[in-house]
Amino acid sequence: MPLEPHIRIFPTVQALSEAAAIELARLSSDSIAQRGRFMLALSGGSTPRTLYELLGKNYRNSIDWQYVHIFWGDERYIPHENPESNYFLAKKSFLGYIEIPIENIHPIPTSYSSPEEAARTYDHELKDIFGEIKPEFDLILLGLGSDGHTASLFPGLKFENDDSRNVIVTESPAGPRIRISLTMNTINRARNIFFLVEGEEKAGILKKVLNCIQEDQPNFPASRVNPIGIVTWFVDRTAIKEWGQPLKK
């Protein structure tokens, strides 16, 4: 069914990140009040860095971190100490500054001899912590790649209907090649999804993806994101620079 994407536009990445932090904090207290915990999956790439730094600096005491569980939507199959690792980004920018029980932080393992084994292990961990075969995240943060990928789900990937797995191994056309990613089915079980998109270089693909969503065309992995819950696009002005059409605030 065609969707009307909920797009919020901001003058800067700072403003975008502040708005996303406010919404994240609100969702965390709602989820903790309703279900006793907040199940959050982080995104990688560069765009979420400002948001993470804000969480580490301004939200240390305003989010009840002891009831928050932190997962990753995807990871590069490289050591966590490597600056290109998504775990490394989160660790450096906020995990090191907040009081969260270590057992509530669930990085995607990248030290197994086989990535398949790491994916299976993370799948089991999700099922254990969620206590259900089909985990429903309270919030998943996603980015948008210039080829229309999201998490580590790249164009050309055969999207399986196999619902038994929540985590798969994929290959990236650029950057660290081997990836581990939540499946599209798992992403689409989320109660809330935030896309964080910034930069002029994303204007073209963002327009294509949003048009596909409006026309229910799954042409890009990002346009297949159609969860049970709510999707909000947090976009900075440079990412819509060329659009020239009026957009919702």
CB of 202 to ligand 6PG, least distance (A): 7
Closest CB to ligand 6PG among 13 and 67? 13
Closest CB to ligand 6PG among 5 and 143? 143
Assign 3-state DSSP to the chain and report helix, strand, coil percentages, each to 5: 35, 20, 45
115 binding ligand 6PG? (CB under 6 A): no
What CA–CA distance (Å, rounded) separates 229 from 233?
13
Closest CB to ligand 6PG among 28 and 43? 43
Which one of the spans 2-10, 110-118, 148-156, 211-219 is the region binding ligand 6PG (CB under 6 A)?
148-156
43 binding ligand 6PG? (CB under 6 A): yes
167 binding ligand 6PG? (CB under 6 A): no
Which one of the spans 43-51, 57-65, 96-104, 132-140 is the region binding ligand 6PG (CB under 6 A)?
43-51
CB of 61 to ligand 6PG, least distance (A): 28
CB of 181 to ligand 6PG, least distance (A): 8
86 binding ligand 6PG? (CB under 6 A): yes
Q: What is the DSSP letter of 200?
A: G
For 63, the token pair is 């989010």
Residue type, 92: K
Three-state DSSP string of 57-68: HHCCCCCCHHHE
145 binding ligand 6PG? (CB under 6 A): yes
Three-state DSSP string of 140-179: EEECCCCCCCECCECCCCCCCCCCCCCEEEEECCCCCCEE
Closest CB to ligand 6PG among 21 and 37? 21
What CA–CA distance (Å, rounded) separates 155 from 144?
12
CB of 64 to ligand 6PG, least distance (A): 26
74 binding ligand 6PG? (CB under 6 A): yes
Closest CB to ligand 6PG among 66 and 146? 146
Q: What is the DSSP letter of 132?
A: S
Beta-bridge mates of residue 179? 76, 170
Secondary structure of residue 83 in the 3-state scheme:
coil
By C-alpha distance, which of 227, 119, 117 is closest to 179? 119
Residues that bind ligand 6PG (CB under 6 A): 43-47, 74, 76, 86, 143-145, 149-152
